[in-house]
Structure 1
Amino acid sequence: MLILGIESSCDETGVAVVQADAGAAPPRLLGQALHSQVQMHQAYGGVVPELASRDHIRRVLPLTQSVLQQAGCTLEQIDCVAFTRGPGLAGALLVGAGVACGIAAALGKPTLGVHHLEGHLLSPFLSADAPEFPFVALLVSGGHTQLMRVEGVGRYHLLGETIDDAAGEAFDKSAKLLGLGYPGGPALARLAEQGQASAFALPRPLLHSGDLDFSFAGLKTAVLTQARKLGPELQARRADLAAATEAAIVEVLVKKSLAALQQTGLRRLVVAGGVGANRRLRQQLDAAAERLGLRVHYPELHLCTDNGAMIALAAAMRWQAGLLPAGASGEGYNFAVRPRWPLAQIDTPTTA
């Protein structure tokens, strides 16, 4: 089966083709293309939804043509078209959903609405070091920070989540307080490499709460308070404050992830989402894994950001598992989207 995947939930247009066999062999990525809108949104200091939607319209079909050439197949050979149904920006989601349903209707093929976070969660299965079920997943993508127990495709149990700001938001908002450009998270991480994390004592919210929930709003406030205290000295101390901020976020993520493994009795951790590309986070998790005899799996760096490959993969793995993807629309090509869609509330899959 050849699956065309389209991702357009926010500020990246991603298209990919994945091949899946009916057996147990993992799906194979045949081709992918990605366009980032970072440069366009930099002038505004963040994503402008209307501009994002318009740019998706311009990019999605040329990217699709490029991916089909990479994959060595024609549009007529595609067996189904997967797209991100949610969560995300409503207008941006509608672009991908509309194009996917239009292509599928023209071909007379089914469409598969995929949960964006499920795509991130399963993305490490495209890496050279693919995980095995069951495992604990740390999802750190945009406005989402969650710990999940994953028994198999579509079998997700929420262990803990953020009660306010997510880790990605803490990175981005702290970066803005430090006068860094958009996107803030990567900029703060780069600056942090030049600083001393011990220079400032920042809080680790809920680190000793006894549960697996997260909270990063208080950390952001602490960064604001410290930046105001520094006043004119902030420019000279930005690297230290960035390093201290990153260290606080990473420590919480690492400690909570290890606690989740201990609580579940599992020995395998999957880290997915944009923050999963953070070098300090990977270093500390790898060190803990070596010390404790655990396994940690990450997607390849180019698959940490939003991309079409993870959407096609999620659809392929649901098909292999004998499940219809959440929101399947084989008839009528209804491309209603779900901008707010917690992964814990993903529709119960039905047997195909």
Structure 2
Amino acid sequence: MSSILPMLFSVASVATFRRSALNTKRCLSSRRGLLTLAIETSCDDTSVAIVEKTKKESGSAAKIHFLENVTADTRAHRGIHPIIALESHQDNLATLVQKALNYLPESKTSDGLKLADGTRRRLPDFISATRGPGMRSNLSVGLDTGKALSVAWQIPMVGVHHMQAHLLTPGLVTCLENASKAGPPAIAPEFPFLSILVSGGHTTLVQSKGITDHKILATSEDIAIGEALDKSARDILPDSLLQEAKSTMYGKNLEQFVFPNGKADFADYSPPDTRGQEITKRVSDWGWSLTTPFANTRMMQFSFSSISSMVGKIVQRSGTNIKMSHAERVDLGREAMRVCFEHLASRTVIALETLRPHNTGKDEIKTLVVSGGVAANQFLMKVLTSFLEVRGFGNINIVAPPPYLCTDNAAMIGWAGIEMFEAGFRSDLSCRPLRKWTLDPQAGDGGILGPGGWIRE
């Protein structure tokens, strides 16, 4: 933080912070829109963004003035290493914040933020920083930096729920599109909608009725789908490809390995028409098969550890993975993805069938949001679209952000912060990072608004 302190306003009292920041900002931002500096440090990605939401005659628009990520290099460990990730945040966050300041819109008045080069920039209306869920020490780096900026600049802060940010991202995408085109505005997903949040740390099916009103319909009882794909990839991919990998996102490398021609390689995918076909055992040309979790039940739960475990046993069945041919590796990788993705689709269909009697009028679910790092997988989108079509839910609009907004990023944190700020929520400076934090108000922690530290304006 020392490198950016010369650019910050002097620190005043917290009392002054409450009086001046929370009152005058509201009047100004209502006329020009909302501008936020956003910080994301929940896992191994250090990310900073400048996000602005403005009003147009035809609707809302958004602009990302700045977005940059630095991912901790943990390839030597072939997975996320908590200490290395923490040190990466400590090394890079202040530098990214300093760089972001140069991308703040120019101030048209003399009371803006004066930078070292003498230029004046608009002061953000508030700070958005990920509060949880995630690695507590990593979250602390971003949250504490956000608090420091909040106090120094005398502006409010919003501690953002990471998973809420993922499911609200399609709204950001819609407003970005509206900013770049003329004519009728695109319509963001309207509540209620379903979301599949899929990443290396989370697999959750959510029903959302409002910005803070979410119900968890299913979650993983063991590991997340992204972790299962990464583990499978480490077993399936040849060592040469693992050594050449530029990151530890091995699931992405696996997709490229088994589908080198992209969509053309899975154009002939045919989903199971019935529940009976879905649970039928498929034996490969090589004699092995992968069992779909909870195949014989309608239990609303996900499980992926058994899939990656079966993959590992198949690869090592002869005592070494050197003897497995390229063709068999490709088939095994495709099958691992198919089973994982059909498991997701199956529980989603069960949820839609359960909700169908209530799916009318204002309660009608028209949209399925797919977000998180795994949402960038094109085969996943093919499976979900095809699966819902043959099961009678072809009317559901499936939306996913572009890949750069699927993975962890500060732009989505900024957008969620804007949504919460507009709804009248701020965070107290005493708020702490949360390792676990559910979305569901019926859960033990009370959901998004359950933990202390919220201020309602």
Normalising by structure 1, we get a TM-score of 0.89
2:305 aligned with 1:217, yes or no? yes
Asked if the contact 1:94/1:335 (under 8 Å) is kept, the reply is: no
Aligned match of 2:216: 158
- 8 Å contact kept, 1:139–1:146: yes
Cα deviation, 1:267-318, whole Å, max 9, x if unaligned, reads 3101110111111011222334566222011112110010001111111112
Q: Is the 8 A contact 1:31 1:68 kept in 2?
A: no
Query: 1:26: Cα distance to partner?
Result: 4.0
Q: CA deviation at 1:262?
A: 2.7
Aligned partner of 1:34 in structure 2 is 68
Separation (CA, whole Å) in 1 of partners of 2:403 and 2:350: 25
Larger mean CA deviation between 136-145 and 193-202 belongs to 193-202
Say whether 1:121 aligns with 2:167. Answer: yes
1:334 is matched with 430
- Aligned-partner residue type, residue 19 of structure 1: E
Which residue of 291, 296, 315 corresponds with 2:417? Answer: 315
Q: Are 1:273 and 2:384 matched, yes or no?
A: no
Match of 1:98 in 2: 144
Q: Distance in 2 between matches of 1:76 and 1:133?
A: 33
The residue that corresponds to 1:343 in the other structure is 439
Looking at structure 1, the residues matched to 167 and 397 of structure 2 have their Cα atoms a distance apart, in angstroms, of 16
Structure 1 residue runs of 5 or longer lacking an equivalent are none
Output the amino acid matched with 1:44.
H
Per-residue CA deviation, residues 208-262 of structure 1 (Å, 9 max, x unaligned), is 4213210111112211221122544225332221111111111111222232223
The Cα shift of 1:85 comes to 0.7
**Relative to structure 1, is the Cα distance of residues 27 and 64 closer, same or farther in structure 2, using a 3 angstrom cutoff?**
farther
Q: 1:48–1:297: structure 2 CA closer, same or farther, 3 Å change rule?
A: same
Instruction: Please say which of residues 208-217 and 131-140 is displaced more in the overlay.
Output: 208-217
Residue 184 in 1 paired to residue 218 in 2?
Answer: no
Q: Which runs of 5+ in 2 are unaligned?
A: 1-33, 107-112, 114-120, 175-185, 270-283, 357-364, 441-446
CA distance in 1, matches of 2:301, 2:216: 10
CA distance in 2 between partners of 1:143 and 1:250 (Å) = 16
Give the alignment partner of residue 425 of structure 2, picking from 324, 332, 335. Answer: 324
Give 2:408's aligned residue. Answer: 306
Secondary structure at the residue paired with 1:346?
helix
Moved more, 120-129 or 70-79: 70-79
SS of aligned partner of 1:337: coil
Which whole-Å CA distance do the structure 2 matches of 1:114 and 1:53 have between them?
19
Q: How many correspondences in the alignment?
A: 345
Per the TM alignment, residue 51 of structure 1 is displaced from its structure 2 partner at its CA by: 1.9
The structure 2 residue matched to 1:61, chosen from 94, 117, 126, is: 94
> Structure 1 vs Structure 2: percent identity of aligned residues?
30
Structure-2 residue corresponding to 1:45:
78
Structure 1 counterpart SS, 2:92: helix
Query: How many Å separate the matches in 1 of 2:402 and 2:375?
Result: 10
**Matching residue of 1:171:** 229
1:233 aligns with 323
State the SS of the aligned residue for 1:93: helix
Q: Tell me which moved more, 243-252 or 282-291.
A: 282-291
> Aligned in 2, Cα 1:168/1:8: closer, same or farther, shift over 3 Å?
same
Q: Is the 8 A contact 2:165 2:416 kept in 1?
A: yes
Most deviating of 124-133 and 246-255: 124-133
Aligned-pair distance for 1:56? 1.5
Report the AA paired with residue 36 of structure 1: V
Using the size of structure 2 for normalisation, the TM-score is 0.70
Q: Tell me by how many angstroms 1:343 deviates.
A: 2.5
- Cα RMSD (Å) of the superposition? 2.5
